[in-house]
């Protein structure tokens, strides 16, 4: 699996004592994102699908609307010197993108952040609503509860890096019949979502009407933000959503499902998009 995983030696202690054994870790390396040769952000990520990640990030920042807004994306040399030549080596950890004319780069940041940073509560939702390009509240997509509770398993079946390391998050886009459009993994939850949205943008599939975004962990405001800007009507998470994630879904028209596991789930916003297929298969709860 190349640079996605790394082999290490560990000491395993269990009821039978201790033994040395090989193990695999998910690789975490910095990706410097440059725009026109100028460094704008750094994100710690699992290498792979970096161009999708960059496009998804730029879309979530409101910088681009489609693939045509990025004229070129290429890896370039970083600060590591080649042992033989003494010149900067290509570490594949620096990605330079050239924006189309008229596209304004985001503010320069020393680390990876989202466009919601520095804003909180209702102000965050108001700001986000002004950035939206798609009328999600007019998307009347429906999905059965039977299918929705299967999505974590369908996502897990495609988590190859998690299978070997247990150390990455995943995000996937699914149709309402359970077809996986794309699944991406990363050490960062936000990066995994940026990668799937970047894939959709490059494939010309925005807005993502009629699609479910399934994530492997908890659901924060930033993930709902990314889904909203990409036109996703239904967001489903294995774990809990945050209060701001729920408020955002309620206000902007997204269906928010949390604790989607086993045969049950909690629906926190716009539950009308989920059809309960049996009385004991769906647990609906209004946020307090």
How crowded is residue 6: how many other Cβ atoms within 10 Å of its Cβ?
14
The span from the CA of 224 to the CA of 221, in Å, is 5
The span from the CA of 89 to the CA of 15, in Å, is 47
Rounded to 10 deg, the angle between the 221-229 and 243-252 helix axes is: 20
Closest C-alpha to 99, from 140, 153, 142, 54: 54
Closest C-alpha to 255, from 114, 139, 125, 133: 139
3-state secondary structure (DSSP) of residue 217: coil
Which residues participate in catalysis according to the annotation?
117
Partner residues linked to 267 by β-bridges: 257
Closest C-alpha to 270, from 147, 159, 179, 138: 138
Strand 255-261, strand 234-237: pairing: parallel
């Amino acid at each position: 699996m190349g640079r996605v995983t790394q082999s290490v030696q560990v000491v395993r202690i269990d009821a039978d004592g201790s033994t040395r054994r090989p193990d695999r870790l998910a690789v975490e390396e910095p990706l410097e994102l440059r725009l026109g040769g100028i460094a704008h952000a750094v994100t710690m990520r699992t290498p792979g699908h970096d161009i999708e990640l960059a496009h998804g990030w730029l879309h979530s920042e409101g910088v681009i609307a489609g693939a045509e807004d990025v004229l070129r994306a290429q890896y370039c040399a970083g600060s590591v010197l080649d042992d033989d030549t003494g010149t900067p080596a290509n570490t594949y950890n620096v990605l330079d993108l050239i924006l189309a004319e008229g596209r304004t780069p985001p503010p320069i940041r020393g680390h990876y952040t989202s466009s919601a940073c520095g804003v909180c509560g209702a102000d965050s939702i108001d700001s986000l609503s002004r950035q939206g390009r798609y009328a999600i509240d007019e998307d009347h997509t429906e999905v059965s509860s039977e299918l929705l509770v299967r999505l974590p398993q369908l996502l897990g079946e495609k988590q190859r890096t998690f299978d070997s390391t247990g150390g990455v998050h995943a995000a996937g886009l699914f149709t309402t019949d359970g077809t996986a459009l794309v699944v991406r993994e990363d050490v960062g939850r936000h990066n995994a979502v940026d990668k799937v949205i970047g894939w959709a943008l490059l494939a010309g599939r925005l807005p993502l009407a009629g699609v479910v975004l399934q994530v492997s962990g908890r659901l924060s405001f930033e993930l709902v933000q990314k889904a909203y800007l990409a036109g996703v009507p239904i967001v489903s998470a294995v774990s809990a959503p945050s209060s701001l994630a729920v408020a955002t879904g309620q206000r902007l028209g997204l269906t928010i499902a949390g604790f989607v596991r086993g045969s049950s789930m909690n629906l926190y916003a716009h539950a009308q998009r989920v059809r309960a297929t049996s009385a004991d298969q769906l647990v609906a709860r209004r946020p307090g």
